[in-house]
Structure 1
Amino acid sequence: MILQLLREWPPGYGGVERVAHELASVWGGTVYSFDAQGLAQRQQDALPVTYRRQRLACTVPLGRLRLPLPSRALWRLLRDPQPLHGHLPSPGVLLVLLLARLLRRRRRVTAHWHSFLDPDPSLNGVLFELYQRLALWGLPLLSAVVTTSPLLAQELVRCGCRPERVQVLPCCLSAAQEALALALPPRTPRQGDPLRLIFIGRLDSYKRLDWLLEALATLQTPWQLAVVGDGPQRLALEALSQALVAASAWGCVRFHGRLPEAAKQRELAAAEVLVLPSDRCHEAFGIVQLEAMAAGIPALAFQLPRSGMGWVGQLPDLDWPQTPEALPAVLQRLAASPGLRARLSVQARERYQRLFARCIWEPQLQRLYPAADATG
């Protein structure tokens, strides 16, 4: 068994939590977390959980900062000889990983580098940058670091990690999610059909749903957008969509809020294109891209420095600059060509099956941790 440590309570709704959840479904070890949002008490699990979870006592929040407090559970985690895998970014997780490595030098302690953080001139931005520098300094002290795409692996090596200790393990879907998505038929739109798009994610500023709405308002052909998710920007985005749709007269936007898994699958089954227009590198790999591609839906995302989002959904017949400025043109191209949308449906599923399917992911995972009692 392999122990895990992360900031939030898995499985949750975020990408880090879902990755930890899928690893635990294979490894079977206890998953420790700070449960920073108190999800263990406030809501049901988004996905079935079969492994043991342990909450660690932590400090009161200072902004987003949570650090572990001394406790029996923390001491057991630090002294346990079993391999430990921690999920970054999180200063608290980084601290525990380094302490675990220091206390048992032969213990296998690894980090999962999910994303880089964007620097900005605010106080939080300065603190994020300080944490990131400390994390990059500490990674070589660990047994290995796992990241989600070749682009992030190259950046970690550029930042000083030894190439032989950087491994790539893309995110994955659960077996049940994958089976449901692969069972959907490829899209076969006809001339005159509206372009059916879907956005899935938290309605927050960095997701840039506003950019997608503004791009769609420029189209000269019919389109429909389903928005799945909730967040602090929902009311503002609904108002923006109403104004833009009224001005364009070509489109229709529906805000569904957060949906149960079955309802989300129905929305995916009705869609032809997924768009994730995030402008931050901490969006490094969208698991919803995999849900879409397995279902035969191309996933559009921007090519950002220190992010693999653009790499995930690249397809042979969709050659575009992957920049915000190019989004209106590529959407118009898709809206005007049902034949292109049909070809991309096939190519999206083929890319998923070639790079991201569980039959590919599981052997990759086995190579990273060939034995639960590995040391290094």
Structure 2
Amino acid sequence: MERVTHELASVLGGVVYSLDVQGHSSVLDDPLLVTYPRTRLPSPVSFGRLKLPLPSSQLLSLLLSPRPLHGHLPSPGVLLILLLARLVRPRRCVTAHWHCFLEPHRGINGWLYGVYQRLALLLMPLLCGVVTTSPLLAQELNRCGCPQQKVSVLPCCLSQQQEQLGLALPLPQARVGAPLRVVFIGRLDTYKRLDWLMEALSTLSSPWELAVVGDGPLRPHFEHLAKRSAHMFSRVRFLGRLSESEKLEQLGRADVLVLPSDRSNEAFGIVQLEAMAAGRIALAFDRPRSGMGWVGQLSGLPWSQSPDGLAEVLQRLADQPALRQQLSMQSRDRYRTLFARGVWLKHVQRLGYAVGTSSV
């Protein structure tokens, strides 16, 4: 979500307001080098993980401004700001960016987020428009009561540098007899389901290699699983967090990226675009209320896009190097057609965002 906000703000200018949920308002140096002004809104009022802004001069300035306002959800605090801005200036252009549908956990926090999402869906028609990241999420917003004419699709994008570096990578060659090279990139936590990927790979009759990029609380658990599932032809490497250049190097070595997330909270993986620009196959599940499966869909690779079908599609890719090479070209072509930065900029222009639009 932060990268989407950054790319929009870089193109449109305006002021970016962010809720200071981690209490960094006293930090003078901004760790992200940007070309647009940024302002932190103090938000010390907390209900579990729900953060709401307190009255402040920054908040008052944001609410009274006549500039168009675009807010990024899910966030109860941002939703509150959008509604207040609409109330204070009924003619002001106030829009929302619906990044994902939440799947609340059990417990008080999960209950609060469930209430928030139901409330947000009820209130979306009151705004001037809603932008979401895939046709699947747009259809779901329509089904939940948001008028079709108010919903627009703007897929995520890569930065200009990321795109150039990815497109410059050579396509993988058909390596007969060589292991299938799989890469996983993400936080090592429960919903990423790295365990499902390792289980699927352990059933293959062909050799494979898995590079795991990322870190998290479940890394020791996954490392233990890797030792149990590995066999003489295969190996799993845990690389931890890598720099952008090191991550690109791992994509360059891979045949396929797999993101086996089991929740709709992850609706659009930017790393899928990085893999596709590099000409690598990107596999993800077709989950309800998620566009992850849609992003990397290839006409030349029909499969169930379900956990039960993961082992079968990986076996097919491992056994058919020529198919992998063909699909690599299709993946890059799909990126250029749907997600390239030039295509994204045209989408932004068609949405009619005004230069100087503020965002929160």
Normalised to the residue count of structure 2, the TM-score between the two structures is 0.95
Aligned to 2:327: 344
CA contact under 8 A between 2:97 and 2:130: conserved in structure 1? yes
CA contact under 8 A between 2:45 and 2:54: conserved in structure 1? no
Q: Mean alpha-carbon deviation: is it higher for 279-288 or for 234-243?
A: 234-243
Residue 53, structure 1, aligned to residue 38, structure 2: yes
User: Deviations along 1:302-348, whole A, 9 cap, x unmatched?
Assistant: 00111101111110111000000111111111111111110110000
Q: 2:344 aligns with which of 353, 361, 365?
A: 361
Aligned to 2:221: 236
Which stretches in structure 2 are left out of the alignment for 5+ residues?
A: none
Aligned to 1:149: 134
Q: 1:128 aligns with which of 86, 94, 113?
A: 113
Aligned residues: 356
Q: Mean alpha-carbon deviation: is it higher for 235-244 or for 205-214?
A: 235-244
Aligned to 1:279: 262
Amino acid at match of 1:255: F
Residue 87, structure 1, aligned to residue 72, structure 2: yes
CA contact under 8 A between 2:104 and 2:111: conserved in structure 1? yes
User: Deviations along 1:248-283, whole A, 9 cap, x unmatched?
Assistant: 333111111111111111111111100000000111
Aligned to 2:233: 250
Q: 1:95 to 1:291 in 2, by over 3 A?
A: same
Q: In structure 1, how many angstroms separate the alpha carbons of the residues matched to 2:249 and 2:30? A: 21
Aligned to 2:273: 290
Q: Secondary structure at the match of 2:166?
A: helix
CA contact under 8 A between 1:219 and 1:250: conserved in structure 2? no
Residue 216, structure 1, aligned to residue 184, structure 2: no
Aligned to 1:307: 290
Q: Secondary structure at the match of 1:55?
A: strand
CA contact under 8 A between 1:272 and 1:297: conserved in structure 2? yes
TM-aligned CA deviation for residue 42 of structure 1: 11
Q: 1:351 to 1:43 in 2, by over 3 A?
A: farther
Aligned to 1:316: 299
Amino acid at match of 2:191: Y
CA contact under 8 A between 2:138 and 2:151: conserved in structure 1? yes
TM-aligned CA deviation for residue 37 of structure 1: 3.6
Percent pairwise identity: 63
Q: In structure 2, how many angstroms separate the alpha carbons of the residues matched to 1:56 and 1:333? A: 51
User: Deviations along 1:113-156, whole A, 9 cap, x unmatched?
Assistant: 00001145433332221111110111111110000000000110
Q: 1:342 to 1:365 in 2, by over 3 A?
A: same
Q: Secondary structure at the match of 1:178?
A: helix
Q: In structure 2, how many angstroms separate the alpha carbons of the residues matched to 1:237 and 1:203? A: 8
Residue 270, structure 1, aligned to residue 247, structure 2: no
CA contact under 8 A between 1:82 and 1:372: conserved in structure 2? no
For the aligned residue pairs, the C-alpha RMSD in angstroms reads 1.7
Amino acid at match of 2:107: S
Q: In structure 1, how many angstroms separate the alpha carbons of the residues matched to 2:223 and 2:356? A: 52
Aligned to 1:260: 243
Q: In structure 1, how many angstroms separate the alpha carbons of the residues matched to 2:232 and 2:67? A: 60
Q: In structure 1, how many angstroms separate the alpha carbons of the residues matched to 2:101 and 2:355? A: 28
Aligned to 2:82: 97
Q: 1:291 to 1:131 in 2, by over 3 A?
A: same
Q: Which has the higher contact order (CA 8 A, sep 6+)?
A: 2
Q: 1:79 to 1:357 in 2, by over 3 A?
A: same
Aligned to 1:20: 5
Q: 1:244 to 1:24 in 2, by over 3 A?
A: same
Aligned to 2:167: 182
Residue 199, structure 1, aligned to residue 184, structure 2: yes
Q: In structure 2, how many angstroms separate the alpha carbons of the residues matched to 1:373 and 1:55? A: 18
Normalised to the residue count of structure 1, the TM-score between the two structures is 0.91
Amino acid at match of 2:208: W
CA contact under 8 A between 2:45 and 2:53: conserved in structure 1? no
TM-aligned CA deviation for residue 64 of structure 1: 1.4
TM-aligned CA deviation for residue 208 of structure 1: 0.4
Which stretches in structure 1 are left out of the alignment for 5+ residues?
A: 1-15
Aligned to 1:329: 312
Q: In structure 1, how many angstroms separate the alpha carbons of the residues matched to 2:97 and 2:191? A: 23
Amino acid at match of 2:161: A
Q: In structure 2, how many angstroms separate the alpha carbons of the residues matched to 1:261 and 1:278? A: 22
Q: In structure 1, how many angstroms separate the alpha carbons of the residues matched to 2:73 and 2:322? A: 42
